[in-house]
Structure 1
Amino acid sequence: MYFVAVAEERNFSRAAERLRVVQSGVSAAIRSLERELGAQLFERSSQRVALTDAGAALLPEARATIDAAQAARDAVDEVRGGLRGTLRIGTLISVGFIDLPGLLGQFRAEHPGVDLRLRAAPTGSAGLARSLLDGELDVAFVSLAGRPPAGLSVRVLVAEPIVAVLPDGHPLAGRATVSLADLADEPFVDSPPGYGNRTEVDRGFAAAGLRRRVALEVADIATVAQYVRNGLGVALLPRFSVGSADGLRTPAVSGARLRWTFGVATGSARRPSAAVRALLDLVDAHRVRRFGH
């Protein structure tokens, strides 16, 4: 457990805080493990802590051991009527579809023994997917274009059409539909690479044999339309993220089937803990309340 904490935090002090022990105890445990294995697990300097090749090889095995121990604890806790442990959740910077604070508040009320850790991903869904595959997260709310990466299981919660977003007064603003070719020469406001909506639009242009110029990259998808409204470019966005239509036009996109998908993902190679399963059950209940299926 100490080894995994240091590997994930890349810092002995933060690992000690996470484990609620003194740093000297963490350092001593790592030194003891290195002596036992006969290999150095971390490269240490005043600037950084990084895994060695031996440490990188040990990490997935160590996580598997922790998962097995957690499964055993889950079995006992479920019999005793209360979940325990830590649930590491990843999310996008902006999640408009789901009331995540409300969802997690309900989870905390029902399972007060589970320590919730929420992390927003500045690198978008691609970064969250990597963290799931690396075992750094237990579950993540993601927008992944196309098929999910191997090793991930994704429950799609919603799929929305992507529409064009144009400022009032734009030459194309009066049209009911526009094509990607119509927009190819325009400056775009978009999310950075790695975000699901950006990946979907990039694929659409590539499939059409077109190039475009992204002039502004905005990490919070909920604010992209504001940049368009102020004349800084055009955008292709899921309809939900546009918000107020004041000062904007949102024609449909013709000739390309662009869709934004949003879902909850877990690593398919790992057995979900009881806490993960409980959260997924809450997400399913939320979907049924909102959509009726």
Structure 2
Amino acid sequence: MELRQLATFVAVAEEQGFSRAADRLGVVQSAVSATIRNLEREWGVTLFHRTTHRVELSAEGRELLPVAREALRAAGAVDGAVEELHGGLRGTLRLGIMQTTLSPGVFSAAGVIAAFRATHPAVKIEVRQAGSGSQADAVREGELDLAFVGLPQTSLPGLELTPLSRAEMQVACPPGHRLASRASVDLGALRDEPFAEMPPEWGVRIANDHAFAAAGAQRTIAYEINDLVTVADFVRHGLAIAILAPGMFPQDPLLAFVPIRHHAPAFLVSLVQPSNRPPSPAARAFAATAAAYAAT
């Protein structure tokens, strides 16, 4: 068994297909198929169930996948330690990022990545954008090394969180809305308002759900939208209201923000890493860069 075989197994499992895994690995599809067949023969198991339309992990494959990931991580950690001894970091860092429009003055994942690359240009950074909930799961399962998440929790099972920024959210509405002139508002007073919200796994939505639950209040979600720019556009056109951080849309004349009196949700940006396995040298260096960037 070779590390190349393990990397192929993990690639097929994560890409859920042989052709996509081949593209990811930079090889032809026949080489991926041959590697998986040889690995199945060597291990005496069926790793994948194949049909004309899909490739799925078998029960044995699901059991072996985390072991294969851990072996690849261990090998990468050794390579990283050797590179550190020679005065530089190399390798690949798999990083989860969020979909936000936060201004750089509040927090910028791109700013952290740029600061890290200025010091460690030989490290390749692969980014994956998704909801905060699924990003946290991906770090826990070993699919990602680190991830920026916007979750209200300060602790999550199997994860270590480093808080980076916090922004209190407010009710966003058009300037002519009945709420726009209010000094503040309670969540309970929003029961009959149509809301534009993110999907359930996104950080802003999770923070809002927690705040309404804590207040014992309800809201009507009229539109579920998977990007903040469109959420804000629905608000601008009077189709709905939303709860957003003002820093996400600085100095927008078509958006009015009203503070929330009690149980105001906060958009907390954190960097998460697994708590049950040591980080690679690149991940450790990136976490230190993120903390220093947030402190400036």
Give TM-score, length-normalised by structure 2.
0.90
Q: Structure 2 counterpart of 1:61, which letter?
A: V
Structure 1 position 201 matched with structure 2 position 211:
no
> Gaps spanning 5+ residues in structure 1: where?
none
Contact conserved, 1:132 with 1:138, CA < 8 A, in 2? yes
Residue in structure 2 matched with residue 134 of structure 1 by the alignment: 141
Residue in structure 2 matched with residue 266 of structure 1 by the alignment: 273
Residue in structure 1 matched with residue 121 of structure 2 by the alignment: 112
SS at 2:179 equivalent: coil
Stretch of structure 1 that moved more, 233-242 or 56-65: 233-242
> CA offsets, 1:217-267, max 9 Å, x none?
222224433321211111111221232241332221112242110111112
Counterparts of 2:29 and 2:155, CA distance in 1: 39
For 1:159, which of 166, 175, 187 is the aligned residue? 166
Task: For 1:95-244, list aligned pairs within 5 A.
Answer: 95-96=101-102, 97-121=106-130, 124-244=131-251
User: How has the CA–CA distance of structure 1 residues 101 and 207 changed in structure 2, closer, same or farther, with 3 Å as cutoff?
Assistant: closer
Counterparts of 2:163 and 2:111, CA distance in 1: 20
Q: Structure 2 counterpart of 1:277, which letter?
A: R
Counterparts of 2:173 and 2:138, CA distance in 1: 35
Residue in structure 1 matched with residue 62 of structure 2 by the alignment: 56
Counterparts of 2:249 and 2:230, CA distance in 1: 8
Cα drift, residue 95 of structure 1 = 4.9
Counterparts of 1:250 and 1:153, CA distance in 2: 33
For 1:74, which of 62, 80, 84 is the aligned residue? 80
Contact conserved, 2:91 with 2:124, CA < 8 A, in 1? yes
Q: How many residues align?
A: 287
Stretch of structure 1 that moved more, 108-117 or 40-49: 108-117
Identical amino acids, percent of aligned pairs:
43
> CA offsets, 1:31-83, max 9 Å, x none?
11111221100111221111000000001111111111111111111011222
> CA offsets, 1:129-187, max 9 Å, x none?
12112211111111012244311111111111111112222222221010011111100
Contact conserved, 2:214 with 2:263, CA < 8 A, in 1? no
Contact conserved, 1:222 with 1:241, CA < 8 A, in 2? no
User: How has the CA–CA distance of structure 1 residues 180 and 99 changed in structure 2, closer, same or farther, with 3 Å as cutoff?
Assistant: closer
Residue in structure 2 matched with residue 38 of structure 1 by the alignment: 44
User: How has the CA–CA distance of structure 1 residues 105 and 247 changed in structure 2, closer, same or farther, with 3 Å as cutoff?
Assistant: closer
> Gaps spanning 5+ residues in structure 2: where?
1-6
Cα RMSD, aligned residues only? 1.8
Contact conserved, 2:8 with 2:21, CA < 8 A, in 1? yes
Contact conserved, 2:10 with 2:69, CA < 8 A, in 1? yes
Structure 1 position 65 matched with structure 2 position 74:
no
User: How has the CA–CA distance of structure 1 residues 101 and 248 changed in structure 2, closer, same or farther, with 3 Å as cutoff?
Assistant: closer
Counterparts of 2:52 and 2:125, CA distance in 1: 30
Counterparts of 1:187 and 1:250, CA distance in 2: 16
